[in-house]
A and B are shown apart, each in its own frame.
Chain A
Amino acid sequence: MKNTENFSQEHHKFLRARKRKSILIQCLRIGLLILLLGIWELSAACGWSDPFLTSSPSRIAKTIGSLYTEGTLFYHIGVTLAETLTGFFIAVLFGTAAALLLWWSDTLRSVLEPYIVVLNALPKIALGPLIIIWCGTGSKAIVFMTILVCIIVVIMHMLNAFIMTDQNKILLLRSMGAGKLQLLTRLVIPSSLASFISMLKVTVGMSWIGSIMGEYIVSKAGLGYLIVYGGQVFRLDLVMGATCILCSLAAIMYFCVVLLEKLLVKNTQT
Chain B
Amino acid sequence: MNEILTFDHVSYIYHTKRDEIEALNDLSFSVREGEFVAVIGPSGCGKSTLLSLAAGLLTPSAGSVNCSGSVGYMLQRDELFPWLTIEKNIYLPLTIKHIKTKEIYERARARAVKYGLGEFLASYPFQLSGGMRQRAALIRTLASDPDVLLLDEPFSALDYQTRLNVTEDVAAILRKEKKTALLITHDISETISLADRVLVLTARPARVAHAHELMFDGVVNPLKRREMSAFSGWFEILWKELNA
Residues of chain A whose beta carbon lies under 8 Å from any beta carbon of chain B: 166, 168-169, 171-178, 182, 186-187, 190-191, 193, 267-270
What sequence of 0s and 1s flags, for each residue 34-52 of chain B, a beta carbon within 8 Å of any chain A beta carbon? Answer: 0000000000000000001
Q: How far is the CA of A270 from the CA of B76 in the complex (A)?
A: 17
> Do the beta carbons of B83 and A166 come within 8 Å of each other?
no
Q: Are B75 and A168 in contact (CB under 8 A)?
A: yes
Contact between chains at B126 and A269 (CB < 8 Å): yes
* 1/0 contact string of B51-84 vs chain A (CB within 8 Å): 0100101000000000000011101110101110
Q: Is the CB of A171 within 8 A of B96?
A: no
Q: Across the interface, name the chain A residue whose C-beta is closest to B85.
A: A267
Asked whether B126 lies within 8 Å of A193 as measured between CB atoms, the reply is no
* Interchain CB contact under 8 A, B79 and A168: yes
Q: Which one of A171, A193, A268, A270 lies within 8 Å of B73 (CB-CB)?
A: A171
Write out, one digit per residue, whether chain B residues 137-174 have a CB within 8 A of any chain A CB (1) or not (0): 00000001000001000000000000000000000000
Count of B interface residues, CB-CB < 8 Å: 23
Contact A267 B124, beta carbon cutoff 8 Å: yes
State the main secondary structure of chain A at its contact with B: helix
Q: Which residues of A lie under 8 Å from residue B83 when comparing CB positions? A: 190-191, 193, 267-268
B93 contacts chain A at the CB level, 8 A cutoff:
yes
Q: A178-B96, A182-B96 are in contact. Are A166 and B126 (CB under 8 A)?
A: no
Within the complex, the shortest CB–CB distance from A262 to chain B, in Å, comes to 15
In contact, B95 and A186 (Cβ under 8 angstroms): yes
Closest chain A CB from B91 CB (angstroms): 11
Q: Which residues of chain A have C-beta atoms less than 8 A from B124's C-beta? A: 267-269
Q: When the two chains form their complex, are residues A268 and B82 in contact, meaning their CB atoms are under 8 A apart? A: yes
Complex A-B, nearest 4 residue pairs according to Cβ-Cβ distance, in ascending order: A175-B73, A176-B96, A268-B82, A269-B126
Q: Is the C-beta of B220 less than 8 angstroms from some C-beta in chain A?
A: no
The residue of chain B having its C-beta at the shortest distance from the C-beta of A187 within the complex is B81
Contact A186 B96 (CB under 8 A): yes
